[in-house]
Chains A and B, each alone.
Chain A
């Protein structure tokens, strides 16, 4: 073993109590940082997953219809027009059939699903419920919102007169899989009514959606909503969740359609997440600072205690640089061992947390909270860098000791 290692390790072993204290401090610090990081990341991932579990990342709709003045003001003429905003009727996206393959081929887009949706009533016996019907192609739509995973009964199968309905609606209408009910729409001059068979019941996780959602076949919805051959929106799923807004803006510029990303429709959620990020970052920074100051202060005391030994080593031919490295190494060793213990501690804390945070049926309340392996690597590397930085000052003090004076003590 080289000189620096021999001396650093022996000094650490000699001052067992001090070593244990700072290693313990470093371990606690690393554990807190790791635990907070993993927990917050996991909770955020869970929140986003839940929000996006029922939403497309990007939704493309027809451009809004604007009312224009009937004529432009002439030269030297002042006009005080009163223009009423137009009521937005249900329309199809122009040329959506041409848009679809283009979106399919677009890099970063992982799923594309056209949809026809509009208002309707669900009728059974004397009961009528206001609903929204979503006409989708099950295979495509399942990749946007995993309906298959949310089924509580039946299957996500949409034949011409099949309907998959929310579980609250099923309860409100008193129907189950295989039962019939009627849907009434009023998009054309004459109301259209048709009978459907419940092929599946879903739980979207949101009561309001469960009360109002009815999925039917794409073509059926076109007929019911009087949009033959049309699609009222196109849902997209993208690979880069947080790049959705940028992509949405680009699509909007390219197509002239209304394009909204989940980030725009969930602005408050994102604001909350970024506020949380700032607070965890602050906590992390302070914990790291406190641990570093702790390591530095113990090492400063150490240097004072070891003055005579440092003098002897210098007299025996150890250069200032090597003495300095001994103490830098001590900082690094202490931080490295602290971070290993801290990593184990953080894993244990996370395991305990996940055991406590369980649903009544024993399934985990949060399924995305895990310690990513890179986090351990980052913790150890960061701790070593921090330990060396913390040791810099004491190490310099050690290197500057005048050997003649140090020995005389």
Chain B
């Protein structure tokens, strides 16, 4: 097995530290994700899945423990380096698609590149459009998010997450508010990018049907990893 892409050891997360409402959400997580892995993160509500995802996504720091991404310990990184790592190593797909409502589909996909590399070039614009065509939105390139259906918005979000070809995409219930048919579509799309370009995915899902189609299933219960096993039942699609 190759060097892990991200590696958490003994990671704890406490909210409201030092106050009366202090609550520890994650109680010592050990988890490593390898490049190209397609992993499901499951568990009941309130088990800390979203918190874990935010930690891995560098949106918030762990209270204790070590988190290494691409071999770098994140605790000692400066704010600016964390921001840069987020831009280059991570893509996000959120449950409520979280597109920028003021920007068209193409502009949303261009945004990570605009942040990381500066003003948009015609090549980057064309690549963004290709990506959108790839997710089946060739006829919606210049639509604003509110003119798109939920499934279509989530496709844009996936194209956006992939626009800088990050090694890891974090998806927080990406199919959570979609009908079964659209959910299947989105799932297949992510799987396709995973197989085609070796992008690793960590997908939080409530849907056991979808979890069963991942390579590995990590189960989180009450802030602890209750199960972590390769999914042998999975057949390549």
Which of A's residues lie within 8 Å of B, judged by CB?
1-3, 6, 10-11, 13-14, 308-309, 311-320, 322, 402-404, 407-408
Contacts and interface: CB of A to CB of B under 8 A. Distances in A.
Interface residues of B, number: 29
B92 interface: yes
A318 B117 CA distance: 11
Contacts, number: 64
Contacts of A404: 54, 59-60
Given A13-B102, A408-B50, A317 B60 contact: no
Interface hub of B88, B101, B115 (most chain A Cβ within 10 A): B115
Contacts of B34: none
B206 interface: no
Contacts of A317: 83-84, 86-88, 112, 115-116
Interface string B112-137: 10111011100000000000000000
Interface of B: 50, 54, 57, 59-60, 79-80, 83-84, 86-88, 92, 94, 98-103, 111-112, 114-116, 118-120, 160
Contacts of B50: 408
A316 B79 CA distance: 14
A10 B60 contact: no
Given A3-B118, A6-B114, A407-B94, A315 B59 contact: yes
B115 A318 contact: yes
Given A322-B115, A402-B60, A315 B86 contact: yes
A408 B92 CA distance: 13
A2 B120 CA distance: 8
Contact of B101 (A14, A311, A313, A314): A14
Q: Which one of A11, A316, A402, A408 has the greatest number of beta carbons of chain B within 10 Å?
A: A316
B111 A313 contact: yes
Contacts of A316: 86-87, 92, 111-112, 115, 160
Nearest to B99: A312
Given A315-B86, A317-B84, A319-B83, A403 B59 contact: yes
Nearest to B102: A14
10 A-B pairs with the lowest CB-CB distances in the bound complex, closest first: A317-B87, A14-B102, A404-B59, A319-B83, A404-B54, A404-B60, A316-B112, A10-B102, A317-B86, A3-B114
A43 B58 CA distance: 63
Contact of B100 (A13, A309, A402, A403): A309
Contacts of A320: 79, 83
Nearest to B164: A317
Contacts of B59: 314-315, 403-404, 407
A6 B94 CA distance: 23
Contacts of A403: 59
B102 A11 contact: yes
Contacts of A14: 101-102
B56 to A, nearest CB: 12
A313 B86 contact: no
Contacts of B160: 316
A325 to B, nearest CB: 12
Contact of A318 (B83, B99, B103, B120): B83
Contacts of A314: 59, 83
Contacts of A13: 102
Contacts of B99: 312
A404 B115 CA distance: 18
A255 to B, nearest CB: 70
B98 A407 contact: yes
B115 A313 contact: yes
Nearest to B166: A317
A402 B54 CA distance: 11
A315 B166 CA distance: 13
